[in-house]
Amino acid sequence: MESSEGRKRKNEIDIPCSKKKKKTKGQETEEPIYSCGDEARKCVSDTLKKLEAVSDREGFTFFKDIKEKLLVLKNKNLTDKMYIGVFGKSGVGKSFLINALLDEEFLLPSGSGEACTSVLIEVQADTNATNYNAGIEFISKSEWESDLRFMKDMIADEATEDGDELEDMAREKIEAVYGSKGINQSYNELLKSQTPQPFPTTLKIFKDNQASDLSKAIGCYIRNDGSFPQKYWPLVKKVTISLPASSKYLDRIVLIDLPGSGDINKERDEMWKTCLSKCASVWIVNDITRALNGKESIHILRNTFRIIAGGGECCNIAYICTQTDRIDPEQSDKQKEKEAAIGFRNQKYKEKIQELLDKEAKKCLLGDEEESENVFNVYTVSSQEYMNIRKGRTAIMKENDTVQELPLLHEHIRNMVIQHSQKAEKDYITEVFGVLSCLTFSKLVQVAEFNSELSVLLKNELDKVCENLVTFLNDVSENLESCLKDGVVEAEKMCIKIISCFIYYKMKNFRGYHRTLKAVCRSNGSYSSSKGPIDLNYTLSRPMYTSVNKTFLQTFRNSRSSINIIFDNVLYDFISSERLNKYKSSKVYPQVVFVKTELKRILSELEKEIRYIKKSINNSLSDSIKKIMQPAYEEASKISGTHAFKKIQKTLEDRIVSSQNTMFQRAKEEMLHRFDDLKKLVNNRIKEKMKESITLALNQSEVDETFPDIRDEFKTIKKCCKDLQITMCE
């Protein structure tokens, strides 16, 4: 028997059905990546039309069930968007990078020195669009009033000479919406103010023929510079921009420009986490002059990796160094010397950053070091140089030099789209092949006893593979429980140290930290500052996460003992290739193929669900801590006046000390409970759905003459399987 490595994704060889480039004068244009998916969908539609003429006999629901499956396939979307999160501190060039990738110099606000983008922006191309469109989604009025009260408290708190991040943010937001006079007005006075009037409560839509015109129209909703007398960006939850497409690959992705500064709004903070968890790729962007700033880079990496590891779809991380055309003038008196200095500097930085990525990511993200290949990429880019080249302006470097790797980012996106499209298409064609197989029965009377015998045999085989699957999941559960027990002991030991380091954080004169701690309480234990998340719930539960990390990552990422590899084993062991070949000369071969492809479909659907269920399991530790700490957060967030800081500290300390003997045990039980729910879901889903499929395929007493003739459709789908080298469907 083949090893699990040898048979991993055996029927998903990454070979496209048709991929060509046609050269036209002065440029290359790309034909559609695939044609097989369209052919398969046409086969489905044609078969459905032929089945419309077939009437279901009373008590014989076979055709009805097949029609339902074909209808699902007819409407199935194979071109879901892929999300790429562009993450980094303000001012590092995220917006300019997105503009350059889209070949739209003035779409998103960008500038040097002063940060511009202050809200989350999703950008995507639309092949059906003729205009540039933008949708502005606002936070609720009650959310803004809650934010406003907190911001006024931040300004009124015992202000220091230098202020701090939260105070500066509060002043900036209030002045943006109410003008400079708003800083000195009370909370109640601001509520009665005619600004903003009326409060934006609905989605605003903008359309323009030019990107620059759209950018100007929405500028007051996304920019925090001095370009607009009236600014609404503090009220905005999200901006969605679509533009006419120029590349087939860019049509399939959504670029998410994540704001680099911190935010105290709960809705926007939660949306930030949700967006990051659904990203197939995350780009960490940094100015090349700061790219090797050890503490800053590691802080960004670790916090980003922690969110990614906990759930979602991310399978690739890119570290992008921007502004690479900049070099010390002493190193670049002449053009050729400047090019050489830039190239040498960039290559050296790439090597060091790659080393940093590998080191940190293997600790935070991977369960098996051998699985790190092609997960991390480092690019050096200059968006300005790229646009100079594209617009025919004077440029320092050539397009393919190390200063300018934006074309490699385009290739990175293209490869992601191709890989995603291939898998989606192969899964779809495999499923179509299975369903159409059911309609190629011999029109001779079948032997009912043989069908019944095979049905029992397959159901017994199903029970065996499910038993193996449950054994694997039980082993994982036991490992988790053992690790969690150790984590509970360590977390209880660390409580006093956490109280000292987190709550009684030693800053000179405690400057600004009282505001930060209050923001943490207001946001139920977690505040996303511009320097990264400050999370008391995670800090308390971190010893438990450290303890279970290896088991969790090995189970849910692409290690040799991951749940996806176990699914591959289930698919292989249930009606193995050897057994399938034995049925080839049998009348029941089409039904057996259908049953096999049904299992593949069910497992593929489960894989997608598990991507998000694992997030719930992973978050259960900090969520449980948050629930126990909630009364203290609510009480502390209301404290103000004399000695407020000390009272907040005491409130949090008392809650931790009084709960430390129970809250970690509860967190352990919650994680195990959620994993147990996953075990039941996987086992029950496979058993129930597969037994339905086996019954549908084999428990028919006869096949009458009303079966439609789908020989042409079946021939087409078999050719698609051959073109894509789907061995299961030979």
Say if residue 509 is in the same domain as residue 388.
no
Say if residue 341 is in the same domain as residue 452.
no
Q: Is residue 105, in this structure, part of any structural domain at all?
A: yes
**Alpha-carbon distance 525 to 244, whole Å?**
42
Residue 286 binned pLDDT confidence (cut-offs 50, 70, 90) = confident
Q: Is residue 567, in this structure, part of any structural domain at all?
A: yes
Say if residue 356 is in the same domain as residue 454.
no
Q: Which ranges constitute the DSSP H helices of 534-588? A: 536-556, 563-573, 577-582
Say if residue 459 is in the same domain as residue 370.
no
Cα 156 off chain centre by: 39
Q: Which three-class secondary structure state does DSSP give residue 727? A: helix
Whether a cis peptide bond, with omega within 30° of 0, leads into 196 is yes
- Give the model's pLDDT for residue 294: 58
**Alpha-carbon distance 471 to 573, whole Å?**
15
Q: Is residue 20, in this structure, part of any structural domain at all?
A: no
Kindly tell me if the per-residue pLDDT of 99 is higher than 50. yes
Percent residues over pLDDT 90 in the chain: 35
**Alpha-carbon distance 35 to 19, whole Å?**
9
Residues in the chain: 730
Say if residue 512 is in the same domain as residue 561.
yes
Alpha-carbon dihedral of residues 207, 213, 219, 225, nearest 10 degrees? 170
Q: Give residue-wise pLDDT tens across range 618-675.
A: 999 999 999 999 999 999 998 988 888 899 999 999 999 999 999 999 999 999 999 9
Pair 31, 685: CB distance under 8 Å: no
- Give the model's pLDDT for residue 193: 85
Say if residue 233 is in the same domain as residue 324.
yes
- Give the model's pLDDT for residue 313: 65
pTM of the model: 0.85
Say if residue 325 is in the same domain as residue 230.
yes
Kindly tell me if the per-residue pLDDT of 18 is higher than 80. no
Residue 548 binned pLDDT confidence (cut-offs 50, 70, 90) = very high
Kindly tell me if the per-residue pLDDT of 582 is higher than 70. yes
Give, to the nearest 10 degrees, the angle between helix 406-437 and helix 94-102.
Answer: 60
Say if residue 365 is in the same domain as residue 505.
no
Q: Give residue-wise pLDDT tens across range 49-69.
A: 998 877 666 556 788 889 999
State the average pLDDT for the chain: 81
Residue 328 binned pLDDT confidence (cut-offs 50, 70, 90) = low
Percent residues over pLDDT 70 in the chain: 81
- Give the model's pLDDT for residue 532: 67
> Which DSSP symbol is given to 202?
S
Q: Give residue-wise pLDDT tens across range 695-721.
A: 888 765 455 556 788 999 999 999 999
- Give the model's pLDDT for residue 58: 57
Q: Give residue-wise pLDDT tens across range 478-504.
A: 999 999 999 999 999 999 999 998 888
> Which domain-ending residue is among 402, 435, 454?
402
Q: Give residue-wise pLDDT tens across range 295-310.
A: 666 676 777 777 666 6
**Alpha-carbon distance 421 to 14, whole Å?**
10
Q: Give residue-wise pLDDT tens across range 188-215.
A: 999 988 777 777 877 899 999 999 999 9
- Give the model's pLDDT for residue 292: 75
- Give the model's pLDDT for residue 444: 42
Of 35, 39, 41, give the one whose Cα is nearest residue 16. 35
**Alpha-carbon distance 618 to 631, whole Å?**
23
Q: Is residue 19, in this structure, part of any structural domain at all?
A: no
Say if residue 233 is in the same domain as residue 290.
yes
- Give the model's pLDDT for residue 295: 66
Q: Give residue-wise pLDDT tens across range 66-75.
A: 999 999 999 9
**Alpha-carbon distance 721 to 437, whole Å?**
13
Kindly tell me if the per-residue pLDDT of 593 is higher than 70. yes
pLDDT higher for 578 or 443? 578
Amino acid at 164: D
- Give the model's pLDDT for residue 311: 61
Please state the rounded mean pLDDT for residues 326-349: 76
For the stretch 217-222, contacts whose Cβ atoms lie closer than 8 Å and that sit 24 or more positions apart, written own/partner, are 217/134, 218/134, 218/136, 219/109, 221/119, 221/136, 222/108, 222/109, 222/116, 222/117, 222/118, 222/119, 222/121
Q: Is residue 708, in this structure, part of any structural domain at all?
A: no
Q: Give residue-wise pLDDT tens across range 233-253.
A: 899 989 999 998 767 678 889
Alpha-carbon dihedral of residues 418, 424, 429, 434, nearest 10 degrees? 150
> Which domain-ending residue is among 382, 402, 422?
402
In SS3 terms, 396-457 reads as CCCCCCCCCCHHHHHHHHHHHHHHHHHHHHHHHHHHHHHHHHCCCCCCCCCCHHHHHHHHHH
Say if residue 341 is in the same domain as residue 205.
yes
Kindly tell me if the per-residue pLDDT of 432 is higher than 90. yes
The domain total for the chain is: 2
Q: Domain residues for 221?
A: 82-140+199-402
Q: Is residue 172, in this structure, part of any structural domain at all?
A: no
Kindly tell me if the per-residue pLDDT of 148 is higher than 70. yes
> Which domain-ending residue is among 402, 427, 459?
402
**Alpha-carbon distance 446 to 450, whole Å?**
8
**End-to-end Cα separation, the chain, in angstroms:** 20
Strand partners, 134: 206, 241
**Alpha-carbon distance 336 to 619, whole Å?**
53
> CB neighbours (10 Å) of residue 220?
17
Q: Give residue-wise pLDDT tens across range 344-361.
A: 888 888 888 888 877 776
Dihedral sign computed on CA atoms, order 402, 404, 407, 413? positive
Say if residue 690 is in the same domain as residue 550.
yes
Q: Is residue 61, in this structure, part of any structural domain at all?
A: no
Please state the rounded mean pLDDT for residues 574-593: 83
Q: Is residue 274, in this structure, part of any structural domain at all?
A: yes
Pair 681, 638: CB distance under 8 Å: no
Strand partners, 257: 86, 121
- Give the model's pLDDT for residue 26: 35
**Alpha-carbon distance 152 to 170, whole Å?**
7
Name the strands in the sheet holding 236-244, side by side, starting at the edge strand that comes first in the sequence.
204-208, 132-138, 236-244, 121-126, 253-257, 82-87, 281-287, 316-322, 376-380
Give, to the nearest 10 degrees, the angle between helix 644-659 and helix 513-522.
Answer: 50
Pair 277, 312: CB distance under 8 Å: yes
Say if residue 479 is in the same domain as residue 361.
no
Q: Give residue-wise pLDDT tens across range 501-517.
A: 888 876 545 566 888 88
- Give the model's pLDDT for residue 543: 95
The H or E element containing residue 124 is strand 121-126
CATH of the domain at 318: 3.40.50.300
> Which DSSP symbol is given to 223?
B
Kindly tell me if the per-residue pLDDT of 158 is higher than 50. yes
Of 673, 510, 677, give the one whose Cα is nearest residue 610. 677
